[in-house]
Chains A and B, each alone.
Chain A
Amino acid sequence: MFIYEKKLEYPVKIKNPNPALAKVIISQLGGPHGELGAATRYLQQRYAMPDNRIIGILTDVGTEELGHIEMVSAILYQLTRNLSEEEIRRSGFDTYFVDHTTGVYPQAASGVPFSTMTLAVTGDVFADIHEDLAAEQKARMTYDNILRLADDPDVKDPIRFLRAREVVHYQRFGDALRIAQDKAADKTNFYLYNPAFDPACRR
């Protein structure tokens, strides 16, 4: 189960609302490389994993990602406070506003709603871990692009924190890959068995 802790992992304190920037950053909530997909992907991949250390990494990275959903949502919430109708029209936020007002809905910057198609739970140890390594790089890339588009230091500070976490998570999934390779039944062919399914190499 999960127990909620009433604080953000890293502070978000944005003085100036900016709905145009929110429209871009929303991709890291509900876009193809966003935090909602990351948290759900890792937590849902755990069940097929045959190694306790890999299950631990997926559990703990997935749990931290739940906190990042809340951090990105806090950024979106603070960027869209106290907007006038004129600001909504002028910023291009009107196409979001018409359906969601200032509610925080998981969608990509393009407007495409969050899709579980981005999750990738294959039940194959090597396919899943490689998916996770790629996912962290794609999230890091998206934060880099957000940093190119954002000019408010109040926004860039928590975005830089989130970006750095993607790099660390990538390293931890590197540990997971090393563990899976070390345990493979045949060191010359890691893919001879899927250790999550084929009983021959379960330990």
Chain B
Amino acid sequence: MNNRAALLNEIRALEFALIETNLFLDGNPDPDAIAYFENTRRALAAKKQEYETTFGPLVAENGVMNGRWAWTDSPWPWECEAN
């Protein structure tokens, strides 16, 4: 596994925890879950920033990389090379 895929998997793991907690909080606004959500959100934001600085944008809003439009660069998520 290359560095890009490894970092993307770290992002996926944190985002998965965030999605799972989000769905739980919608129906169960538990204080421990809120604290866990906030900690996970901060860790995820840091990882995403690291990824986007090194490998390119995850959202179109961050599509400019070193003055160049990098949003439309390959690979797209459904390609093997992206995973």
Binding site for B on A (CB under 8 A): 3-15, 53, 56-57, 60-61, 64, 70, 73-74, 77-78, 168-169, 172, 175-176, 178-179
Contact = CB atoms under 8 A, between A and B. Distances in A.
Contacts of B24: 172
Interface string B1-33: 000010011011001100110111011100000
B80 A13 contact: yes
Given A4-B59, A6-B57, A7-B11, A61 B80 contact: no
A14 B12 contact: no
B77 A60 contact: no
B21 to A, nearest CB: 11
Contact of A78 (B9, B26, B78): B78
Q: Does more than half of chain B's interface fall in helix, strand or loop, or is it mixed?
A: helix
Interface of B: 5, 8-9, 11-12, 15-16, 19-20, 22-24, 26-28, 57-61, 71, 76-80, 82-83
B11 A12 contact: no
A77 B78 CA distance: 7
A175 B58 CA distance: 32
B27 A178 contact: yes
A61 B15 CA distance: 14
